Amino acid sequence: MSSRRRTKSGPAFHESAALYPGTFDPITNGHSDITARVARLFDRVVVAVAGSTRKKTMFPLKERVRLAEQALADISGLEVIGFHGLATSLARRMGIRVMIRGLRALSDFEYEFQLAGINRQIADEVETIFLTPANRYNFLSSSMVHELAHLQGDVQEWVHPKVAAALHRLHGKSAGRA
């Protein structure tokens, strides 16, 4: 069986590739956990760091990409890229037909369900797969990590050491340490 298949709507799609888009501001151990799970399921994983978003990000796109590369360096078959625009358009351009979305809690589900529905309307050949992180990360969000670091709390349990160091630089000398 060929590793690529042409769809009615155009380009050939990788059968064993997945796109994991997000702002990753910053990437957390929950994101890393989901990425490691995805890498066990697919030969190729593209972590796509969104540059154009309604969210006001604390780290610029280049730094978020760099931090994701560092946090995910031990995962094979992985590529980290920055992008602007729709994730579905990126998936099409890259020939990827599976998009990964993480769910932490029931509160995420409604938004993610709506997003998957609109993505299906835009690109019905790109499927959305939802994954949950390990239980210890079910409550974890980038926003919570930022708030904790801003208030000089210890973030080392929730992010890669390089991310903790970046938060330390951003929020002051005590961020990332107890």
- Per-residue pLDDT, averaged over 44-57, amounts to 90
- Is residue 5 scored above 50 in pLDDT? no
Give 133-152 pLDDT, tens digit per residue: 999 999 899 999 999 999 98
The tokens describing 87, both together, are: 């994730």
**Residues 178, 174: Cα–Cα separation, whole Å:** 7
- Per-residue pLDDT, averaged over 3-24, amounts to 69
How many distinct helices (H) and strands (E) make up the chain? 6, 7
The letter for the amino acid at 22 is: G
Instruction: Provide the pLDDT for residue 26.
Output: 95
The tokens describing 148, both together, are: 């904790």
Instruction: Provide the pLDDT for residue 10.
Output: 52
Of all residues in the chain, the percent with pLDDT exceeding 70 is 88
Residue linked to tokens 């000089």: 152
Residue linked to tokens 């602007």: 84
Residue extents of the structural domains in the chain: 14-171
* Cβ pair 79, 45 in contact under 8 A: yes
Let me know if domain 14-171 sits in CATH 3.40.640.10.
no
Share the mean pLDDT of the chain.
88
Give 60-101 pLDDT, tens digit per residue: 999 999 999 999 999 998 999 999 999 999 999 999 999 999
* Cβ pair 12, 5 in contact under 8 A: yes
Cβ-based neighbours of 31, under 8 Å, separated by 6 or more: 22, 24, 68, 71, 102, 133
Output the pTM of the full model: 0.86
Catalytic residues: 31, 55, 104, 142
**Residues 81, 90: Cα–Cα separation, whole Å:** 11
Dihedral angle, C-alpha 54, 158, 42, 11, nearest 10 °: 10
- Per-residue pLDDT, averaged over 11-27, amounts to 83
- Is residue 2 scored above 90 in pLDDT? no
